[in-house]
Structure 1
Amino acid sequence: MRISGFTIIKNAILNDYPVAEAICSILPMVDEMIVLIGDCKDDTVQLIEGIASPKIKIHHSVWDTVTHTNGTVLAAETNKAFNLVDASSDWAFYIQADEAVHEQYHKIIEQACGQYKSDKRVEGLLFKYLHFYGTYDFTGDSRKWYANEVRVIRNDKKITSYRDAQGFRVGERKLNVKMIDAYIYHYGWVRSVETIRAKNIHVAEVWHRDIALEKYKLSDMDYNFENFDSLVLFTGTHPAVYKKRIKEKNWHLELDISKKHFSFKNKLLYYVEKLTGKRLFNFRNYKIIR
Protein backbone atom coordinates (compact mmCIF):
# COMPACT_ATOMS: atom_id res chain seq x y z
CA MET A 1 0.00 0.00 0.00
CA ARG A 2 1.24 3.46 -0.89
CA ILE A 3 0.09 6.77 0.63
CA SER A 4 0.97 10.24 -0.67
CA GLY A 5 0.65 13.43 1.33
CA PHE A 6 -0.16 16.79 -0.21
CA THR A 7 -0.60 20.38 0.89
CA ILE A 8 -0.57 23.96 -0.38
CA ILE A 9 1.02 27.01 1.18
CA LYS A 10 1.72 30.66 0.46
CA ASN A 11 3.50 33.18 2.69
CA ALA A 12 3.83 30.79 5.62
CA ILE A 13 6.16 33.08 7.55
CA LEU A 14 4.24 36.31 6.95
CA ASN A 15 1.00 34.62 8.03
CA ASP A 16 2.59 32.54 10.81
CA TYR A 17 1.33 29.25 9.38
CA PRO A 18 2.70 26.16 11.17
CA VAL A 19 3.05 24.36 7.85
CA ALA A 20 6.33 22.67 8.75
CA GLU A 21 4.63 21.11 11.77
CA ALA A 22 1.65 20.11 9.61
CA ILE A 23 3.90 18.34 7.11
CA CYS A 24 6.04 16.65 9.75
CA SER A 25 2.94 15.41 11.58
CA ILE A 26 1.97 13.13 8.67
CA LEU A 27 5.43 12.52 7.19
CA PRO A 28 5.94 9.13 8.93
CA MET A 29 2.75 7.80 7.30
CA VAL A 30 3.38 8.85 3.70
CA ASP A 31 5.70 7.66 0.94
CA GLU A 32 5.92 11.09 -0.67
CA MET A 33 4.86 14.58 0.40
CA ILE A 34 3.75 17.01 -2.30
CA VAL A 35 4.15 20.65 -1.23
CA LEU A 36 2.77 23.19 -3.70
CA ILE A 37 4.14 26.63 -2.84
CA GLY A 38 2.42 29.75 -4.12
CA ASP A 39 4.01 33.03 -5.21
CA CYS A 40 5.42 34.11 -1.85
CA LYS A 41 6.74 37.36 -0.42
CA ASP A 42 8.75 35.57 2.25
CA ASP A 43 11.10 32.61 2.75
CA THR A 44 8.47 29.86 2.66
CA VAL A 45 10.55 27.83 0.18
CA GLN A 46 13.55 27.83 2.51
CA LEU A 47 11.28 26.88 5.42
CA ILE A 48 10.05 23.78 3.60
CA GLU A 49 13.53 22.90 2.33
CA GLY A 50 14.68 23.04 5.94
CA ILE A 51 12.60 19.97 6.78
CA ALA A 52 15.22 18.03 4.80
CA SER A 53 13.26 14.88 4.03
CA PRO A 54 13.69 12.89 0.80
CA LYS A 55 9.93 12.34 0.83
CA ILE A 56 9.22 16.03 0.22
CA LYS A 57 8.65 17.14 -3.37
CA ILE A 58 8.41 20.91 -3.75
CA HIS A 59 6.45 22.41 -6.65
CA HIS A 60 5.62 26.02 -7.45
CA SER A 61 2.45 27.81 -8.49
CA VAL A 62 1.01 31.29 -9.00
CA TRP A 63 -2.30 31.89 -7.26
CA ASP A 64 -4.95 33.26 -9.62
CA THR A 65 -7.21 35.28 -7.32
CA VAL A 66 -8.76 37.10 -10.28
CA THR A 67 -10.34 34.03 -11.86
CA HIS A 68 -10.87 32.19 -8.57
CA THR A 69 -12.69 34.45 -6.11
CA ASN A 70 -14.38 33.97 -2.72
CA GLY A 71 -11.74 31.53 -1.53
CA THR A 72 -12.06 29.16 -4.50
CA VAL A 73 -8.38 29.74 -5.31
CA LEU A 74 -7.68 27.44 -2.35
CA ALA A 75 -9.58 24.62 -4.07
CA ALA A 76 -7.87 25.36 -7.39
CA GLU A 77 -4.43 25.10 -5.77
CA THR A 78 -5.43 21.99 -3.82
CA ASN A 79 -6.49 20.34 -7.08
CA LYS A 80 -3.12 21.22 -8.63
CA ALA A 81 -1.34 19.61 -5.69
CA PHE A 82 -3.52 16.49 -5.81
CA ASN A 83 -2.84 16.10 -9.53
CA LEU A 84 0.89 15.94 -8.69
CA VAL A 85 0.37 12.88 -6.50
CA ASP A 86 2.12 9.81 -7.91
CA ALA A 87 -0.23 7.57 -9.90
CA SER A 88 1.00 4.50 -8.02
CA SER A 89 -0.38 5.73 -4.68
CA ASP A 90 -3.57 4.18 -3.33
CA TRP A 91 -4.48 7.06 -1.02
CA ALA A 92 -3.74 10.78 -0.75
CA PHE A 93 -3.55 12.47 2.65
CA TYR A 94 -4.47 16.16 2.49
CA ILE A 95 -3.24 18.31 5.35
CA GLN A 96 -3.87 22.05 5.55
CA ALA A 97 -1.14 24.40 6.70
CA ASP A 98 -2.70 25.02 10.13
CA GLU A 99 -3.61 21.40 10.87
CA ALA A 100 -1.70 18.50 12.44
CA VAL A 101 -2.11 14.84 13.30
CA HIS A 102 -1.07 13.52 16.70
CA GLU A 103 1.26 10.55 16.41
CA GLN A 104 -1.11 8.51 18.59
CA TYR A 105 -3.42 8.27 15.55
CA HIS A 106 -0.86 7.17 12.97
CA LYS A 107 -1.48 3.44 13.38
CA ILE A 108 -5.28 3.91 13.28
CA ILE A 109 -5.02 5.86 10.03
CA GLU A 110 -2.64 3.39 8.42
CA GLN A 111 -4.83 0.46 9.44
CA ALA A 112 -7.93 2.14 7.98
CA CYS A 113 -6.12 2.79 4.70
CA GLY A 114 -5.17 -0.88 4.55
CA GLN A 115 -8.62 -2.08 5.58
CA TYR A 116 -10.46 -0.12 2.89
CA LYS A 117 -7.85 -0.24 0.14
CA SER A 118 -9.77 -2.83 -1.88
CA ASP A 119 -13.25 -1.58 -0.94
CA LYS A 120 -13.91 0.73 -3.88
CA ARG A 121 -17.10 2.02 -2.26
CA VAL A 122 -14.91 3.96 0.13
CA GLU A 123 -13.70 7.17 -1.50
CA GLY A 124 -12.30 8.80 1.61
CA LEU A 125 -11.72 8.68 5.36
CA LEU A 126 -13.57 11.04 7.68
CA PHE A 127 -11.74 12.52 10.67
CA LYS A 128 -12.95 14.09 13.89
CA TYR A 129 -11.71 17.60 14.66
CA LEU A 130 -10.34 19.58 17.58
CA HIS A 131 -10.29 23.33 16.97
CA PHE A 132 -7.87 25.16 19.26
CA TYR A 133 -8.64 28.78 20.06
CA GLY A 134 -6.46 31.60 21.37
CA THR A 135 -3.91 29.34 23.04
CA TYR A 136 -3.05 25.65 23.09
CA ASP A 137 -5.23 25.22 26.20
CA PHE A 138 -8.73 25.74 24.81
CA THR A 139 -10.86 24.14 22.11
CA GLY A 140 -14.15 25.30 20.63
CA ASP A 141 -17.05 22.92 21.24
CA SER A 142 -19.97 24.74 19.61
CA ARG A 143 -21.67 24.39 16.23
CA LYS A 144 -19.57 27.17 14.72
CA TRP A 145 -16.69 24.66 14.49
CA TYR A 146 -17.05 21.82 12.00
CA ALA A 147 -16.94 18.48 13.79
CA ASN A 148 -15.69 16.29 10.94
CA GLU A 149 -14.04 16.51 7.54
CA VAL A 150 -12.46 14.28 4.92
CA ARG A 151 -8.68 14.37 4.84
CA VAL A 152 -7.67 11.06 3.24
CA ILE A 153 -9.04 10.44 -0.25
CA ARG A 154 -8.64 7.67 -2.76
CA ASN A 155 -6.10 8.51 -5.47
CA ASP A 156 -8.81 9.01 -8.07
CA LYS A 157 -8.36 12.20 -10.05
CA LYS A 158 -12.13 12.47 -10.57
CA ILE A 159 -12.17 13.64 -6.95
CA THR A 160 -11.72 17.40 -6.65
CA SER A 161 -11.46 19.97 -3.89
CA TYR A 162 -14.76 21.70 -3.19
CA ARG A 163 -15.48 25.44 -2.88
CA ASP A 164 -12.86 26.86 -0.45
CA ALA A 165 -11.02 23.53 -0.03
CA GLN A 166 -12.71 22.43 3.17
CA GLY A 167 -13.78 19.11 1.61
CA PHE A 168 -13.93 17.06 -1.60
CA ARG A 169 -16.50 16.01 -4.19
CA VAL A 170 -16.82 14.05 -7.43
CA GLY A 171 -18.44 16.75 -9.53
CA GLU A 172 -21.27 17.90 -7.26
CA ARG A 173 -21.65 14.47 -5.63
CA LYS A 174 -20.55 14.05 -2.03
CA LEU A 175 -17.87 11.44 -1.34
CA ASN A 176 -18.78 8.10 0.21
CA VAL A 177 -16.57 7.86 3.28
CA LYS A 178 -15.81 5.83 6.38
CA MET A 179 -15.54 7.52 9.76
CA ILE A 180 -12.34 6.66 11.64
CA ASP A 181 -11.44 7.17 15.28
CA ALA A 182 -8.73 9.76 14.67
CA TYR A 183 -8.53 13.52 15.08
CA ILE A 184 -7.18 16.40 13.08
CA TYR A 185 -5.91 19.18 15.36
CA HIS A 186 -6.72 22.59 13.89
CA TYR A 187 -4.47 25.41 15.13
CA GLY A 188 -5.58 28.22 12.84
CA TRP A 189 -6.85 30.36 15.71
CA VAL A 190 -3.83 29.87 17.99
CA ARG A 191 -2.02 33.15 17.55
CA SER A 192 -1.40 36.41 19.34
CA VAL A 193 -3.89 39.19 18.64
CA GLU A 194 -1.30 40.99 16.51
CA THR A 195 -0.41 38.00 14.33
CA ILE A 196 -4.01 36.92 13.87
CA ARG A 197 -4.94 40.40 12.65
CA ALA A 198 -2.07 40.37 10.16
CA LYS A 199 -2.90 36.83 9.03
CA ASN A 200 -6.60 37.60 8.60
CA ILE A 201 -5.84 40.62 6.43
CA HIS A 202 -3.48 38.62 4.20
CA VAL A 203 -5.98 35.76 3.90
CA ALA A 204 -8.79 38.22 3.13
CA GLU A 205 -7.03 38.94 -0.14
CA VAL A 206 -8.20 35.55 -1.45
CA TRP A 207 -11.76 36.22 -0.30
CA HIS A 208 -12.50 39.91 -0.84
CA ARG A 209 -11.89 42.39 -3.62
CA ASP A 210 -11.24 46.15 -3.70
CA ILE A 211 -13.81 48.03 -1.53
CA ALA A 212 -14.87 44.87 0.30
CA LEU A 213 -11.24 44.15 1.19
CA GLU A 214 -10.70 47.64 2.59
CA LYS A 215 -13.85 47.33 4.72
CA TYR A 216 -12.64 43.97 5.99
CA LYS A 217 -9.25 45.40 6.95
CA LEU A 218 -10.93 48.16 8.96
CA SER A 219 -13.36 45.79 10.68
CA ASP A 220 -10.59 43.37 11.65
CA MET A 221 -8.47 45.96 13.45
CA ASP A 222 -10.38 45.43 16.70
CA TYR A 223 -10.23 41.62 16.79
CA ASN A 224 -10.89 40.31 20.28
CA PHE A 225 -10.39 36.72 21.44
CA GLU A 226 -13.15 37.18 24.01
CA ASN A 227 -15.74 37.02 21.23
CA PHE A 228 -16.31 33.27 21.55
CA ASP A 229 -19.52 31.37 22.20
CA SER A 230 -18.22 28.27 23.99
CA LEU A 231 -14.79 26.88 24.87
CA VAL A 232 -13.60 23.90 26.90
CA LEU A 233 -10.26 23.20 28.56
CA PHE A 234 -8.00 20.84 26.61
CA THR A 235 -6.47 18.22 28.90
CA GLY A 236 -4.72 16.03 26.33
CA THR A 237 -1.30 16.29 24.73
CA HIS A 238 -0.24 17.97 21.51
CA PRO A 239 1.62 16.36 18.61
CA ALA A 240 5.33 15.94 19.33
CA VAL A 241 6.16 18.16 16.34
CA TYR A 242 4.51 21.07 18.21
CA LYS A 243 6.81 20.89 21.24
CA LYS A 244 9.16 23.66 20.05
CA ARG A 245 6.37 25.93 18.83
CA ILE A 246 4.44 25.66 22.10
CA LYS A 247 7.60 26.36 24.11
CA GLU A 248 8.23 29.52 22.08
CA LYS A 249 4.69 30.89 22.49
CA ASN A 250 5.11 34.53 23.54
CA TRP A 251 1.59 35.66 24.40
CA HIS A 252 -0.86 35.04 27.22
CA LEU A 253 -4.64 35.01 27.23
CA GLU A 254 -7.01 34.82 30.17
CA LEU A 255 -10.42 33.68 28.96
CA ASP A 256 -13.39 32.93 31.20
CA ILE A 257 -14.59 29.69 29.65
CA SER A 258 -17.27 29.19 32.32
CA LYS A 259 -19.44 31.65 30.40
CA LYS A 260 -21.40 30.74 27.27
CA HIS A 261 -22.43 33.34 24.71
CA PHE A 262 -25.30 31.94 22.64
CA SER A 263 -28.51 33.09 21.06
CA PHE A 264 -31.53 31.18 22.43
CA LYS A 265 -31.68 28.94 19.34
CA ASN A 266 -27.97 28.10 19.39
CA LYS A 267 -28.03 27.54 23.14
CA LEU A 268 -30.86 25.02 22.70
CA LEU A 269 -29.04 23.23 19.86
CA TYR A 270 -25.81 23.21 21.86
CA TYR A 271 -27.35 21.44 24.84
CA VAL A 272 -29.28 19.01 22.64
CA GLU A 273 -25.95 18.01 21.09
CA LYS A 274 -24.29 17.62 24.49
CA LEU A 275 -27.15 15.46 25.78
CA THR A 276 -27.71 13.29 22.70
CA GLY A 277 -24.42 13.43 20.79
CA LYS A 278 -26.36 14.54 17.70
CA ARG A 279 -25.77 17.82 15.89
CA LEU A 280 -29.17 18.73 14.46
CA PHE A 281 -29.51 20.48 11.08
CA ASN A 282 -25.79 20.05 10.47
CA PHE A 283 -24.37 20.46 6.95
CA ARG A 284 -22.36 17.43 5.85
CA ASN A 285 -19.95 17.64 2.96
CA TYR A 286 -19.82 13.83 2.66
CA LYS A 287 -21.92 10.65 2.88
CA ILE A 288 -20.98 8.20 5.62
CA ILE A 289 -21.00 4.50 4.70
CA ARG A 290 -22.35 2.43 7.60
Structure 2
Amino acid sequence: MSETQTAMKVSGFTFLRNGEVLGYPFVESLKSLLLVCDEVIVALGQGEDNTRALVEGIGDPRIRIIDTTWNEKMTDRGYVYAQQKMIAQFNCSGDWAFYLEGDEIIHEDDAPKIRAAMEKHLHNPEVEALAFDYLHFYGCPDLVAQSPAWYRRAPRVIRNTIRSWAPDGLFWVVMDKNKRGRYPRAALAGCPLYHYGHVRSAEKMNEKNRQVSKYWKHEAKPHRYNQIDASILQPFKGRHPAGVQQWLKDYAEASFTPDPSYQLSKRERRHRRMMVLERWLGRDLTKKHYVLVD
Protein backbone atom coordinates (compact mmCIF):
# COMPACT_ATOMS: atom_id res chain seq x y z
CA MET A 1 0.00 0.00 0.00
CA SER A 2 1.36 3.42 -0.96
CA GLU A 3 2.05 6.30 1.40
CA THR A 4 -1.01 8.13 0.02
CA GLN A 5 -3.24 5.16 0.66
CA THR A 6 -2.07 4.65 4.25
CA ALA A 7 -2.86 8.32 4.99
CA MET A 8 -6.55 7.70 4.35
CA LYS A 9 -8.59 5.98 7.04
CA VAL A 10 -11.98 4.42 6.29
CA SER A 11 -14.49 3.56 9.00
CA GLY A 12 -17.32 1.10 8.48
CA PHE A 13 -20.37 1.04 10.71
CA THR A 14 -23.70 -0.66 11.24
CA PHE A 15 -26.20 -1.53 13.96
CA LEU A 16 -27.56 -4.95 14.89
CA ARG A 17 -29.95 -6.65 17.25
CA ASN A 18 -31.20 -10.25 17.05
CA GLY A 19 -29.53 -10.62 13.66
CA GLU A 20 -29.51 -14.40 13.92
CA VAL A 21 -33.18 -14.75 14.88
CA LEU A 22 -34.23 -12.35 12.12
CA GLY A 23 -32.23 -14.11 9.43
CA TYR A 24 -29.73 -11.40 8.48
CA PRO A 25 -26.47 -12.39 6.74
CA PHE A 26 -24.74 -9.97 9.11
CA VAL A 27 -21.54 -11.98 9.52
CA GLU A 28 -21.10 -12.06 5.75
CA SER A 29 -21.94 -8.35 5.60
CA LEU A 30 -19.33 -7.42 8.21
CA LYS A 31 -16.69 -9.53 6.52
CA SER A 32 -17.35 -7.76 3.24
CA LEU A 33 -17.10 -4.37 4.99
CA LEU A 34 -13.69 -5.39 6.30
CA LEU A 35 -12.51 -5.67 2.68
CA VAL A 36 -12.70 -1.87 2.48
CA CYS A 37 -12.44 -0.49 6.00
CA ASP A 38 -9.70 0.10 8.56
CA GLU A 39 -12.16 -0.12 11.44
CA VAL A 40 -15.76 -1.33 11.74
CA ILE A 41 -18.09 -0.05 14.46
CA VAL A 42 -21.07 -2.21 15.44
CA ALA A 43 -23.80 -0.68 17.61
CA LEU A 44 -25.18 -3.86 19.17
CA GLY A 45 -28.55 -3.79 20.88
CA GLN A 46 -29.47 -6.15 23.70
CA GLY A 47 -30.97 -9.24 22.09
CA GLU A 48 -32.01 -12.83 22.76
CA ASP A 49 -29.80 -14.74 20.34
CA ASN A 50 -26.14 -15.36 19.48
CA THR A 51 -25.55 -12.21 17.46
CA ARG A 52 -22.80 -10.92 19.74
CA ALA A 53 -20.95 -14.25 19.81
CA LEU A 54 -21.15 -14.49 16.02
CA VAL A 55 -19.77 -10.98 15.58
CA GLU A 56 -16.97 -11.69 18.04
CA GLY A 57 -16.34 -14.99 16.26
CA ILE A 58 -15.24 -13.12 13.13
CA GLY A 59 -12.06 -12.59 15.12
CA ASP A 60 -10.90 -9.37 13.49
CA PRO A 61 -9.41 -6.69 15.79
CA ARG A 62 -10.73 -3.96 13.49
CA ILE A 63 -14.27 -4.67 14.73
CA ARG A 64 -15.38 -2.66 17.76
CA ILE A 65 -18.70 -3.43 19.45
CA ILE A 66 -20.65 -0.72 21.26
CA ASP A 67 -23.41 -2.10 23.48
CA THR A 68 -26.63 -0.10 23.17
CA THR A 69 -30.16 0.02 24.55
CA TRP A 70 -33.05 0.56 22.16
CA ASN A 71 -35.75 3.07 23.02
CA GLU A 72 -38.80 0.79 22.92
CA LYS A 73 -41.12 3.79 23.17
CA MET A 74 -39.78 5.32 19.95
CA THR A 75 -42.29 4.09 17.36
CA ASP A 76 -42.34 7.06 14.99
CA ARG A 77 -41.35 6.14 11.41
CA GLY A 78 -38.44 3.92 12.31
CA TYR A 79 -36.53 6.68 14.07
CA VAL A 80 -35.08 4.20 16.55
CA TYR A 81 -33.07 2.88 13.59
CA ALA A 82 -31.70 6.38 13.01
CA GLN A 83 -30.71 6.59 16.67
CA GLN A 84 -28.81 3.31 16.48
CA LYS A 85 -27.21 4.21 13.17
CA MET A 86 -25.93 7.51 14.55
CA ILE A 87 -24.51 5.91 17.70
CA ALA A 88 -22.30 3.86 15.42
CA GLN A 89 -21.47 6.71 13.05
CA PHE A 90 -20.56 9.09 15.86
CA ASN A 91 -17.91 6.59 16.95
CA CYS A 92 -16.23 6.46 13.53
CA SER A 93 -12.80 8.07 13.36
CA GLY A 94 -11.97 7.73 9.66
CA ASP A 95 -11.95 10.25 6.84
CA TRP A 96 -14.93 8.41 5.35
CA ALA A 97 -17.72 6.51 7.14
CA PHE A 98 -19.22 3.55 5.23
CA TYR A 99 -22.68 2.46 6.39
CA LEU A 100 -23.69 -1.07 5.47
CA GLU A 101 -26.87 -2.72 6.70
CA GLY A 102 -26.87 -6.28 7.98
CA ASP A 103 -28.43 -7.68 4.79
CA GLU A 104 -26.11 -5.85 2.36
CA ILE A 105 -22.91 -7.25 0.92
CA ILE A 106 -19.94 -5.75 -0.92
CA HIS A 107 -18.69 -7.86 -3.82
CA GLU A 108 -15.03 -8.74 -3.37
CA ASP A 109 -14.31 -7.59 -6.93
CA ASP A 110 -15.65 -4.13 -6.09
CA ALA A 111 -13.72 -3.52 -2.86
CA PRO A 112 -10.65 -2.05 -4.64
CA LYS A 113 -12.93 0.17 -6.77
CA ILE A 114 -14.63 1.57 -3.68
CA ARG A 115 -11.36 2.28 -1.96
CA ALA A 116 -10.04 3.93 -5.14
CA ALA A 117 -13.14 6.16 -5.36
CA MET A 118 -12.55 7.31 -1.79
CA GLU A 119 -8.92 8.08 -2.61
CA LYS A 120 -9.94 9.98 -5.72
CA HIS A 121 -12.34 12.27 -3.87
CA LEU A 122 -10.55 12.47 -0.52
CA HIS A 123 -9.31 16.02 -1.05
CA ASN A 124 -12.29 17.29 -3.04
CA PRO A 125 -14.70 18.90 -0.56
CA GLU A 126 -17.39 19.12 -3.25
CA VAL A 127 -17.83 15.37 -2.92
CA GLU A 128 -19.42 14.65 0.44
CA ALA A 129 -20.67 11.12 -0.21
CA LEU A 130 -20.51 8.13 -2.53
CA ALA A 131 -23.71 6.68 -3.99
CA PHE A 132 -24.06 3.04 -4.99
CA ASP A 133 -26.26 1.24 -7.47
CA TYR A 134 -28.39 -1.44 -5.84
CA LEU A 135 -29.26 -5.03 -6.61
CA HIS A 136 -32.37 -5.93 -4.62
CA PHE A 137 -32.79 -9.70 -4.69
CA TYR A 138 -36.34 -10.87 -4.18
CA GLY A 139 -37.89 -14.25 -3.43
CA CYS A 140 -34.79 -16.24 -4.38
CA PRO A 141 -31.16 -15.47 -5.33
CA ASP A 142 -31.96 -15.61 -9.05
CA LEU A 143 -34.34 -12.65 -9.26
CA VAL A 144 -33.85 -8.91 -8.84
CA ALA A 145 -36.65 -6.41 -8.16
CA GLN A 146 -36.51 -3.35 -10.40
CA SER A 147 -39.16 -0.66 -10.01
CA PRO A 148 -39.58 2.77 -8.39
CA ALA A 149 -40.60 0.92 -5.23
CA TRP A 150 -37.00 -0.23 -4.84
CA TYR A 151 -34.40 2.53 -4.60
CA ARG A 152 -31.96 2.21 -7.47
CA ARG A 153 -29.17 4.23 -5.93
CA ALA A 154 -28.37 5.32 -2.40
CA PRO A 155 -25.48 7.07 -0.64
CA ARG A 156 -23.72 4.69 1.73
CA VAL A 157 -20.40 6.48 2.27
CA ILE A 158 -20.31 9.91 3.93
CA ARG A 159 -17.40 12.26 4.52
CA ASN A 160 -16.70 12.06 8.22
CA THR A 161 -15.61 15.69 8.58
CA ILE A 162 -19.02 17.26 7.87
CA ARG A 163 -22.08 17.66 10.08
CA SER A 164 -24.47 14.92 9.04
CA TRP A 165 -27.25 12.97 10.67
CA ALA A 166 -29.78 10.35 9.64
CA PRO A 167 -33.48 11.18 10.02
CA ASP A 168 -34.08 7.51 9.33
CA GLY A 169 -31.94 4.52 8.46
CA LEU A 170 -31.75 5.11 4.73
CA PHE A 171 -30.22 8.51 4.08
CA TRP A 172 -28.31 11.47 5.49
CA VAL A 173 -28.99 15.16 5.93
CA VAL A 174 -26.02 17.54 5.91
CA MET A 175 -26.34 20.39 8.39
CA ASP A 176 -24.09 23.11 6.97
CA LYS A 177 -26.44 25.72 8.43
CA ASN A 178 -27.85 25.70 11.92
CA LYS A 179 -31.53 25.40 11.03
CA ARG A 180 -31.62 23.91 7.56
CA GLY A 181 -30.44 20.62 6.19
CA ARG A 182 -29.87 19.28 2.69
CA TYR A 183 -28.97 16.03 0.97
CA PRO A 184 -25.22 15.39 0.55
CA ARG A 185 -23.39 16.05 -2.70
CA ALA A 186 -22.39 12.61 -3.97
CA ALA A 187 -20.23 11.04 -6.65
CA LEU A 188 -21.03 7.60 -8.00
CA ALA A 189 -19.06 4.71 -6.54
CA GLY A 190 -19.26 2.92 -9.89
CA CYS A 191 -20.39 -0.43 -8.50
CA PRO A 192 -23.44 -1.98 -6.82
CA LEU A 193 -24.26 -3.18 -3.36
CA TYR A 194 -25.98 -6.56 -3.05
CA HIS A 195 -29.15 -6.49 -0.94
CA TYR A 196 -30.38 -9.86 0.35
CA GLY A 197 -33.04 -8.90 2.88
CA HIS A 198 -35.89 -10.23 0.74
CA VAL A 199 -34.47 -13.67 0.05
CA ARG A 200 -34.22 -14.85 3.66
CA SER A 201 -36.50 -17.73 4.54
CA ALA A 202 -40.20 -16.93 4.76
CA GLU A 203 -40.11 -17.96 8.42
CA LYS A 204 -37.34 -15.47 9.22
CA MET A 205 -39.01 -12.74 7.18
CA ASN A 206 -42.22 -13.11 9.15
CA GLU A 207 -40.32 -13.01 12.42
CA LYS A 208 -38.55 -9.86 11.26
CA ASN A 209 -41.88 -8.23 10.38
CA ARG A 210 -43.31 -9.24 13.74
CA GLN A 211 -40.44 -7.70 15.70
CA VAL A 212 -39.84 -4.48 13.77
CA SER A 213 -43.34 -3.41 12.74
CA LYS A 214 -43.94 -1.63 16.05
CA TYR A 215 -41.08 0.79 15.37
CA TRP A 216 -43.04 2.02 12.34
CA LYS A 217 -46.51 1.87 13.95
CA HIS A 218 -47.38 -0.82 11.41
CA GLU A 219 -49.54 -3.86 11.93
CA ALA A 220 -47.45 -7.04 11.67
CA LYS A 221 -48.94 -8.78 8.65
CA PRO A 222 -47.87 -12.21 7.34
CA HIS A 223 -45.38 -11.88 4.51
CA ARG A 224 -45.86 -13.96 1.40
CA TYR A 225 -43.19 -13.65 -1.27
CA ASN A 226 -45.58 -14.62 -4.05
CA GLN A 227 -47.73 -11.52 -3.48
CA ILE A 228 -45.90 -9.15 -5.81
CA ASP A 229 -46.11 -7.59 -9.24
CA ALA A 230 -44.17 -10.19 -11.23
CA SER A 231 -43.43 -7.68 -14.02
CA ILE A 232 -40.81 -5.94 -11.88
CA LEU A 233 -38.73 -9.11 -11.39
CA GLN A 234 -35.74 -9.61 -13.67
CA PRO A 235 -33.31 -12.56 -13.84
CA PHE A 236 -29.94 -12.01 -12.18
CA LYS A 237 -27.18 -12.77 -14.65
CA GLY A 238 -24.16 -11.88 -12.56
CA ARG A 239 -22.18 -13.67 -9.86
CA HIS A 240 -23.00 -13.38 -6.20
CA PRO A 241 -20.22 -12.31 -3.83
CA ALA A 242 -18.14 -15.28 -2.74
CA GLY A 243 -18.70 -14.52 0.92
CA VAL A 244 -22.49 -14.87 0.75
CA GLN A 245 -22.82 -17.94 -1.45
CA GLN A 246 -22.88 -20.44 1.42
CA TRP A 247 -25.46 -18.34 3.27
CA LEU A 248 -27.63 -18.36 0.15
CA LYS A 249 -27.46 -22.15 0.03
CA ASP A 250 -28.22 -22.59 3.71
CA TYR A 251 -30.69 -19.83 4.57
CA ALA A 252 -32.24 -18.24 1.48
CA GLU A 253 -35.44 -19.28 -0.24
CA ALA A 254 -34.41 -21.63 -3.04
CA SER A 255 -37.24 -20.98 -5.47
CA PHE A 256 -40.05 -18.56 -6.08
CA THR A 257 -43.23 -18.47 -8.14
CA PRO A 258 -45.36 -15.29 -8.18
CA ASP A 259 -49.08 -15.74 -7.68
CA PRO A 260 -50.68 -15.31 -11.16
CA SER A 261 -53.93 -14.16 -9.55
CA TYR A 262 -52.28 -11.44 -7.50
CA GLN A 263 -54.12 -8.11 -7.67
CA LEU A 264 -51.90 -5.05 -7.99
CA SER A 265 -52.09 -2.46 -5.25
CA LYS A 266 -52.74 1.19 -6.00
CA ARG A 267 -49.07 1.90 -5.32
CA GLU A 268 -47.92 -0.83 -7.71
CA ARG A 269 -50.19 0.49 -10.48
CA ARG A 270 -48.68 3.93 -9.98
CA HIS A 271 -45.18 2.49 -10.23
CA ARG A 272 -46.08 0.72 -13.46
CA ARG A 273 -47.16 4.06 -14.93
CA MET A 274 -43.93 5.64 -13.74
CA MET A 275 -41.86 2.94 -15.44
CA VAL A 276 -43.66 3.54 -18.74
CA LEU A 277 -42.96 7.25 -18.40
CA GLU A 278 -39.31 6.55 -17.58
CA ARG A 279 -38.94 4.52 -20.77
CA TRP A 280 -40.48 7.32 -22.82
CA LEU A 281 -38.31 10.02 -21.25
CA GLY A 282 -35.16 7.98 -20.77
CA ARG A 283 -34.93 9.25 -17.20
CA ASP A 284 -34.93 7.82 -13.70
CA LEU A 285 -37.90 9.44 -11.92
CA THR A 286 -37.31 7.91 -8.49
CA LYS A 287 -36.60 10.06 -5.46
CA LYS A 288 -32.90 10.49 -4.71
CA HIS A 289 -31.46 11.32 -1.31
CA TYR A 290 -28.35 12.95 -2.73
CA VAL A 291 -27.30 15.56 -5.29
CA LEU A 292 -25.10 14.08 -8.00
CA VAL A 293 -21.79 15.85 -8.69
CA ASP A 294 -19.07 14.94 -11.19
TM-score exceeds 0.5: yes
Task: For 2:53 and 2:270, locate their aligned partners in 1 and report how far apart those are by CA, in whole Å.
Answer: 48
Greater Cα shift, 30-39 or 59-68:
59-68
Residue 142 of structure 1 aligns with which residue?
147
Aligned-partner Cα distance in 2 for 1:120–1:95: 23
Identity over the aligned pairs, expressed in percent? Answer: 31
Alignment of 1:110-121 (within 5 A): 110-121=115-126
Q: Equivalent residue for 2:3?
A: none
Q: How many positions carry a matched residue from both structures?
A: 277
Q: Please state whether the residue corresponding to 1:244 is helix, strand or coil.
A: helix
Structure 1 SS opposite 2:109: helix
Q: TM-score, length-normalised on structure 1? A: 0.89
The question of 1:286 aligning with 2:286 is answered: no
Matched, 1:178 2:182: no
**In structure 1, what is the Cα distance between the partners aligned to 2:132 and 2:257?**
28
Q: Which residue of 1 aligns with 2:96?
A: 91
Alignment TM-score, normalising by the size of structure 2: 0.88
Partner of residue 54, structure 1: 61
Q: Is the 2:225–2:258 contact (alpha carbons within 8 Å) kept by the matching residues of 1? A: no
Runs of 4+ in structure 1 deviating by more than 4 angstroms, as ranges, are 256-265, 274-277
State the distance in 2 between where 1:241 and 1:251 align. Answer: 17
> For residue 123 of structure 1, what is the amino acid of its counterpart?
E
* Alignment correspondent of 2:249: 247
Return the alpha-carbon distance in structure 2 between the equivalents of residues 50 and 275 of structure 1.
51
Counterpart of 1:31 in structure 2 is: 38
Q: How far apart, CA to CA, are the structure 1 residues paired with 2:210 and 2:259?
A: 27
Tell me, in whole angstroms, the C-alpha distance in 2 between the residues paired with 1:270 and 1:17: 30
2:89 maps to 1:82: yes
Among 129, 132, 135, the alignment partner of 2:137 is: 132
Query: 2:75, 2:214 within 8 Å by CA — same for their partners in 1?
Result: no
State the shift of 1:140 in Å. Answer: 0.3
What CA RMSD, in Å, does the superposition of the two structures yield over aligned residues?
A: 2.1
Q: Does residue 207 of structure 2 align to residue 205 of structure 1?
A: no
Distance 1:108 1:274 in 2: 30
| TM-aligned CA deviation for residue 276 of structure 1 | 4.9
- Equivalent in the alignment of 2:236: 234
Kindly state the Cα deviation for residue 28 of structure 1 after the two structures are TM-superposed: 1.7
Report deviation, 1:267.
2.4
Q: 1:10·1:40 contact (CA, 8 Å) conserved in 2?
A: yes
Shift of 1:10: 0.6
Aligned to 2:160: 155
SS of match in other structure, 2:215: coil
Give the drift of 1:233: 0.7
Q: For 1:108 and 1:47, locate their aligned partners in 2 and report how far apart those are by CA, in whole Å.
A: 28
Q: C-alpha displacement at 1:180, in angstroms?
A: 2.2
Stretches of structure 2 that go unaligned for 5 or more consecutive residues are: 1-7, 176-180
Contact 2:29–2:105 (8 Å) recurs in 1 = yes
Matched, 1:73 2:75: no
Q: Deviations over 1:10-62 (max 9, x none)?
A: 11111111111111112021111111101111111101001111111111000
- Separation of aligned partners in 2, 1:197 and 1:264: 25
Distance in 1 separating the partners of 2:139 and 2:256: 9
Give the residue type in structure 1 aligned to 2:293.
I
